[in-house]
Structure 1
């Protein structure tokens, strides 16, 4: 500890501010440990109480004169510091009582004291992914349970090292421990990464990677919101009719194909229904003609058959109806939805004919048969880490997913994991092992935006529900974004831990400062000037808000920027256009 009491005196004490005057710059210059913005000081009183304070700023004293009025040629300067915690019996505690006025002793915190501060985390819970910027010898330890068990926000502009920081955090989090039953056995960590740009597979060589060619998400897994977002335009004049009849057709078709089910089947039940048969049903409704002859007043097919129950006929291949007529002998008029669904049916058929959406609308098992209700456990295993083989990390590669269904895919997987863990908690016996999942949303502003809109309605509600309720069921979020101001505030406001890297956009800087749970301007004001892989870590999991340098890792995400000028200086590159186009065209 560097005692600077002889040259420094406390001149002001407040709840959030301690001002210290350095009276001898000559003496200060002889110190081996120099102060800088972000350095820590220990301020003590005569009763032995000590406060740890963070240097926020300094200024030259306005009046350079002694008490007799004689001009002083050597300037003095004043440090503005912010208390961050107290020392009790050698242990650091956040917040707490203030020191007795006036304090008597001022010391520069040494590496040993800083290590003591971060060593307050219990050994079994310690988790670290970096060291202090101002002292590389001090590893910053967090409480792993409080970090992963409470939602995390990771923000930073392009080029700040955000992706490698996420990888460093996750690699350390899932690292094999000594608690596994046998060497090489997997631990119980479960991480699912929604990878928008396909960059994280390089960082996790043992992960299960599921891309558009591998993933199977049958449409019948969707709930009402996802189905309607997929197929119905909410701004169309007759959208309410589309919703009501599509809902009826889906429910009745689910009952048709799951007659042996013991539970009550609803619109949201994850059981099989035939989309083709549902389209048949709506096509019949769209061309329906009702006979107005005495004792009939029912839809009537061209062959003379009356339709007493639509569900008995309309799921079958499309048949024609009798002609509309005002004649007494064959009087017939259009049904209530005749001509209502022309655009709706065109949209349905367009979606079904889009081969890019086969993973949703026409996924097949290895025997070329469609997935049925009884296949739900296998469908869940693929992205929950229980495939063949099992895996701690599952990467959902979204780079090949058509953007128009991206939000539906993220919503569907998110909701299925939440629902599974909801029922898992009810199924398990209290005291048995838990099943904790961390869901990582890379570039989250692309599918949980601040703005309202039907296009993002289902995914926002799915993720917002986990943000508010997920921890009760063992699900935590990591929200990663370069534009935090564009993300749903409902989600970000539930984050208890933040890893904030360099942010250059003023709107994003203001937004993040407003969200951060600790108002430490000495740290947060450095957001626009942080170096690559430097991060401000604030939240419940860390004993004191800290500016850290993230640990270098061997397996990096494939997210490096192209060095334009360097590449331009190289010889001309011959590109195989034909091969690339063939890959493009599939």
Structure 2
């Protein structure tokens, strides 16, 4: 153990009452210790690793009953008896880079050492084939943090409030998985990941494809170049699928029967325009008429062909399904269609490689039962829940991304045995995280509001111990970044200045009308 001891240096001695899960030590007055730092003590052949969770500076002389002038006098004369203490939460007993529960008695008077880079990286690392490089320790930039790819077998949740860095973090994990040759499907309701295909790195440029429905908003179109269309041929749908798209609940038997009858009368021709024309010519109740009007409004989602699964599911391929611009019921249908085809391919054994399914805004795709609709919404939820419970058996692994863990189904969230949690300040969401995770302690929960942008608490099977990390920079281009209000307002002022010219007003009006 002498080699281990030499990797850190003594910063204090244990004092007071120490327990199996925590200890306290008095700090060398010449040493500065920060919250979240890692320290250790030596016990026989093991290293007992802990994390500083609280700092206390105590003085019997300068207590809270003394007046201001006395404190000033004592301080100016350097009369101070303060004692600096650290409270440490024990992570475990470390041997050969593995962590197990510590069962050692920690006595007062034992030297405490600061855990150096070699000690921590020996614990945090995995072999190259399993390692996903995520970043570095939040307060120790020289210590790299890795995730264990095998930890993703029991699913991952990436949780953060808006603007804290969840999409950035998800992108980092996608990059790392692509380097390993992973097959990735991304459900992207706001086009946050479409720009990842614009990369100077050949790996990403060759491996990432973006699929858009004809009704997607086309965000970043000017930057993307060629994208692939994700379309469905109306003739390939059965009447249940048409009901799902039209938003007809499965319990509305009469409305469903109307759709079924119309499709039967078309004798397989079933072109969407023919269907709409036929449905408008029959005597139907008002509610089905409203559904037909909705179908007319969204008719552009249908194309001349149905996109084949082989186009978006392939080895070492990341397919971003851009669902931006679709209302939630339609997004649910497309999501269900993609996921169900992937699930069928995996369960049938026709695709042998592991598939990583990233679901952004997961609270909209797998909400609690009270917020769940019927049709495609229910089928989507049932399928996501099934994958969360059994997907690992077939090689489908979920990555749930959300800023509202309190509004996602807790059965789905609790199946994510690993979590990357960035800043969360909402008490309801904090409670949901605490209730869904066996690895999240109350003390870690207290740290959530104080995390900086891009800092994350990583817990579960993807790491050997709870880790607070600064997520690394992305290698691909990011979408969905916050609007620069100051710059846009400056631009608005400049345009307003130009608009004072009457001819400029006419040009502006013409462009808006176009």
Q: Output the TM-score relative to the length of structure 1.
A: 0.69
Q: 1:84 aligns with which of 81, 91, 95?
A: 91
Q: 1:343 aligns with which of 279, 286, 293?
A: 286
Structure 1 distance, partners of 2:115, 2:332, is 49
1:211 correspondence with 2:212? yes
Structure-2 change in CA distance of 1:564 and 1:99 (3 Å): same
1:452 correspondence with 2:371? yes
Residues 420, 456 of structure 2: 8 Å contact kept: yes
Structure 2 distance, partners of 1:577, 1:448, is 44
Structure-2 change in CA distance of 1:536 and 1:459 (3 Å): same
Following TM superposition, by how much is the alpha carbon of 1:52 offset from its aligned partner in structure 2, in angstroms? Answer: 0.7
Residues 21, 76 of structure 1: 8 Å contact kept: no
Q: Which residue of 2 aligns with 1:572?
A: 494
Following TM superposition, by how much is the alpha carbon of 1:467 offset from its aligned partner in structure 2, in angstroms? Answer: 1.4
Structure-2 change in CA distance of 1:281 and 1:350 (3 Å): closer
Pairwise mapping of residues 251-290 of structure 1 onto structure 2 (< 5 A)?
Answer: none
Q: Which residue of 2 aligns with 1:231?
A: 246
Structure 2 distance, partners of 1:140, 1:221, is 48
Q: 1:94 aligns with which of 82, 94, 99?
A: 99
Q: 2:341 aligns with which of 416, 421, 426?
A: 416
1:488 correspondence with 2:413? no
Structure-2 change in CA distance of 1:478 and 1:349 (3 Å): same
What SS does the aligned partner of 1:518 have?
coil
Pairwise mapping of residues 401-440 of structure 1 onto structure 2 (< 5 A)?
Answer: 401-423=326-348, 425=349, 427=350, 434-440=352-358
What SS does the aligned partner of 2:175 have?
helix
Structure-2 change in CA distance of 1:511 and 1:153 (3 Å): same
Residues 60, 81 of structure 2: 8 Å contact kept: no
Report the number of matched residues: 456
Structure 1 distance, partners of 2:410, 2:309, is 30
Residues 445, 486 of structure 1: 8 Å contact kept: yes
Structure 2 distance, partners of 1:233, 1:57, is 56
Structure-2 change in CA distance of 1:132 and 1:240 (3 Å): same
Structure 2 distance, partners of 1:155, 1:35, is 29
Residues 19, 106 of structure 2: 8 Å contact kept: no
Structure 2 distance, partners of 1:225, 1:14, is 61
Following TM superposition, by how much is the alpha carbon of 1:273 offset from its aligned partner in structure 2, in angstroms? Answer: 6.5
Q: Which residue of 2 aligns with 1:48?
A: 45
Deviations 1:105-127 (A, max 9, x none): 321111111111113x2332111
Structure-2 change in CA distance of 1:202 and 1:283 (3 Å): closer
Structure 1 distance, partners of 2:353, 2:439, is 31
Q: CA RMSD in A?
A: 3.4
Q: Which residue of 1 aligns with 2:322?
A: 397
Structure 2 distance, partners of 1:102, 1:226, is 68
1:150 correspondence with 2:154? yes
Following TM superposition, by how much is the alpha carbon of 1:405 offset from its aligned partner in structure 2, in angstroms? Answer: 1.5
Q: 2:473 aligns with which of 531, 540, 552?
A: 552
Q: Which residue of 1 aligns with 2:312?
A: 383
Residues 248, 291 of structure 2: 8 Å contact kept: no
Following TM superposition, by how much is the alpha carbon of 1:542 offset from its aligned partner in structure 2, in angstroms? Answer: 0.5
Residues 37, 522 of structure 1: 8 Å contact kept: no
Structure 1 distance, partners of 2:120, 2:437, is 23
Following TM superposition, by how much is the alpha carbon of 1:216 offset from its aligned partner in structure 2, in angstroms? Answer: 0.9
What SS does the aligned partner of 1:472 have?
helix
The answer for unaligned runs of 5 or more in structure 2 is: 1-6, 63-78, 199-204, 215-228, 499-506
Point out the structure with the larger strand share. 2
Residues 132, 173 of structure 2: 8 Å contact kept: no
Following TM superposition, by how much is the alpha carbon of 1:501 offset from its aligned partner in structure 2, in angstroms? Answer: 0.8
Q: Which residue of 2 aligns with 1:353?
A: 296
Structure 2 distance, partners of 1:77, 1:410, is 56
Q: 1:523 aligns with which of 444, 447, 455?
A: 444
> Radius of gyration: which is bigger?
1
